[in-house]
Structure 1
Amino acid sequence: MKFSHLMLPLLALLLSAKLFANPIAADAESVSPLLNGEQIPAVMLKDSSGKVVDLKNLIAQKPTVLFFYRGGWCPYCNNQLGQLKEIEPKLIELGYQLVGISPDSPEKLAASAGERKLDYLLLSDANMDAARAFGLAFFTSKQTSDAYLARMKLENPLFTTPEGEPRLVLPVPAVYIADKEGLVHFQYVNPNFKVRPAPELILTAAKLAATKA
């Protein structure tokens, strides 16, 4: 019994530390993303069929081009999905797999993949665990939250700000290239969601990273 009493404060401290280890940024410009030379974090996601996927185990299978996007409702994201589809054969030739992560539900991922005839893997990060672990998650403003929820009819769960206000949380769009050991060789993160890296840039970075792996 004494052991249990001693352990309770420690468990509470550990849970608290885990909760605040990857805080949600106040806005897109305040994120602290994972950088080159760092390791891909351990996180569990779901594919379009609802199957749980261990991201580190997935990346251990082959070098990976991993990208975060806001969702299938975002026109800039849809344009990027198409651009990546075009260069996927060249990435496969280089030995890579292409993986996309967004807050979309598995059902919405399946719809996006079917509509755009995507062959690469899309993963659901509805709880923003991956976005937080990568340091990409941020609170949208109240105006943006209200507008997106109303106009786009989003079903994303809301998160509470430090001030106690419910807000929509999104990932800053990003691209990561990692080897099978999970080491990041390239990262592109831009808080301006309208600007995405050119496919040629991603291919060039993938080729350079392949020579170092």
Structure 2
Amino acid sequence: MKSIRALLRHLLSSRLTLSLLTCLLSVGLIQPTMANPIAADEVSVAPLLNGETIPDIQLFDSKGKSVSLKALSAQKPTVFFFYRGGWCPFCNNQLGQLKEIEPKLIELGYQLVGISPDSPAKLAEAAGERKLDYLLLSDANMDAARAFGLAFFTSEKTTQTYLSRMKLENPLFKTPEGDERLVLPVPAVYITDTQGLVHFQYVNPNFRVRPAPKLILTAAELARQQG
């Protein structure tokens, strides 16, 4: 089943008129306020694209304080990155790479914000161990991952493997078939302005591949020039 965002894109690409879209909304075939469904797998996600605006989602920082993504991005241009959790070696490598380029991002006027399913306590632990200065936010209920179109169900085998080997405490979600599965975000990077408008996005279903720090810096520089 396609997400609401994917359906709207299809309709618009088919040159349907605004009146027809309004009709579909009025009869309930499209629900714009509905949360995006969780994708069946990592290659089926429908991520937020360049030119779209980030959703206003409330998350929690490492101290358990509620943080609005909209209000946060309004403070200054932001580099948001979604990662799977502090248990993931590829994510830990990315956390370190971003730490190295954070001073240059700050010089460009950006703030760096990481989002993962980890609990606030896990975030605090990770920040302390790795001496991270940038903000980490907890998306345990996958609200942000779903709103950005990044959330997906892991397979039964992957769910059992991660729960047993990684000792994850993440909540499980029910699939349309009624099976309980682990839900993760496809790793992604978003660069936004103070209006919450996306100027750059990198989304890769292959969790082993993350964008090079130089690519993120170049994209940030270009986005600032556009702003």
TM over 0.5: yes
Who is 1:157 aligned against? 171
Alignment CA distance shift 1:159-1:18 (3 Å): farther
Residue segments in structure 2 that go unaligned for 5+ positions in a row: 1-26
Who is 2:222 aligned against? 208
Taking structure 1 as the reference length, the TM-score comes to: 0.91
SS in 1 for 2:75: coil
Post-superposition offset of 1:21: 3.7
Who is 1:36 aligned against? 50
- Letter of the 1:183 partner, please give it: L
The CA RMSD over aligned residues, in Å, is 1.5
Post-superposition offset of 1:75: 0.1
SS in 2 for 1:60: helix
2:43 & 2:76 partners in 1: Cα distance? 32
Identity of aligned residues (%): 78
Partner deviation per Cα, 1:76-127 (whole Å, 9 max, x = no partner): 0000000000000000000000000000000000000000000000000000
Taking structure 2 as the reference length, the TM-score comes to: 0.86
SS in 2 for 1:186: strand
4+ residue runs over 6 A deviation: none
SS in 1 for 2:222: helix
- Letter of the 1:161 partner, please give it: T
Q: 1:124 aligns with which of 138, 146, 168?
A: 138
Partner deviation per Cα, 1:135-167 (whole Å, 9 max, x = no partner): 000000000000000000000000000000000
Who is 2:14 aligned against? none
Residue 194 (str. 1) matches residue 208 (str. 2)? yes
Alignment: residue pair count: 200
Who is 1:6 aligned against? none
Q: How does 1:139-178 map to 2 (within 5 A)?
A: 139-178=153-192
Partner deviation per Cα, 1:23-51 (whole Å, 9 max, x = no partner): 00000000000000000111000000000
- Letter of the 1:91 partner, please give it: L
Alignment CA distance shift 1:211-1:19 (3 Å): closer
Who is 1:104 aligned against? 118
2:34 & 2:93 partners in 1: Cα distance? 34
Who is 1:78 aligned against? 92
- Letter of the 1:207 partner, please give it: E
1:82 & 1:152 partners in 2: Cα distance? 20
Q: 1:185 aligns with which of 199, 202, 209?
A: 199
Q: How does 1:60-75 map to 2 (within 5 A)?
A: 60-75=74-89
SS in 1 for 2:132: coil
Partner deviation per Cα, 1:187-213 (whole Å, 9 max, x = no partner): 000000000000000000000000011
Who is 2:18 aligned against? none
Residue segments in structure 1 that go unaligned for 5+ positions in a row: 1-12
- Letter of the 2:148 partner, please give it: F
1:90 & 1:107 partners in 2: Cα distance? 28
